Amino acid sequence: MLVVNAKSQDFLHEDDYDKKTKQGIVLVEFWASFNSVNEVNLKKIYDCKKYRVDMSQDPSLMAKHSVMAVPTVVIYHNGKEVKRFQADISFAMKATEGDVQEVVDEIIMDQF
């Protein structure tokens, strides 16, 4: 299970989501305070920008990006979705920090 402190993350909103996800490698966690026990630990993920979307503040973003469960992690490269990790029916994420970092590393390596 992955865990992170929400205060260490920047939040995206409807007005800046598209702009910020087009800037290199970007990881976005769709998050909910009621499921904080299953938050994603992004502290060990590097070489990308990291943001959260609070579903209680911006529910329209969840619908727009077809997010069905929280947490959900979406990795973008220059605005294009590369990979998505979703919670299961119990709202727990099976992916590890290593799984997420592996995708970020692959994007970096593909640039050479």
pTM of the model: 0.88
Token readout for 9 is 């993350």
Which pLDDT band holds residue 9 (cuts at 50, 70, 90)?
Answer: low
Token readout for 68 is 């069905």
CA geometry: angle at 90 spanning 71 and 28, to 5°? 10
24 burial (CB, 10 Å; 0-12 / 13-18 / 19+) is: middle
Token readout for 94 is 């099976």
Which pLDDT band holds residue 80 (cuts at 50, 70, 90)?
Answer: very high
Which pLDDT band holds residue 64 (cuts at 50, 70, 90)?
Answer: very high
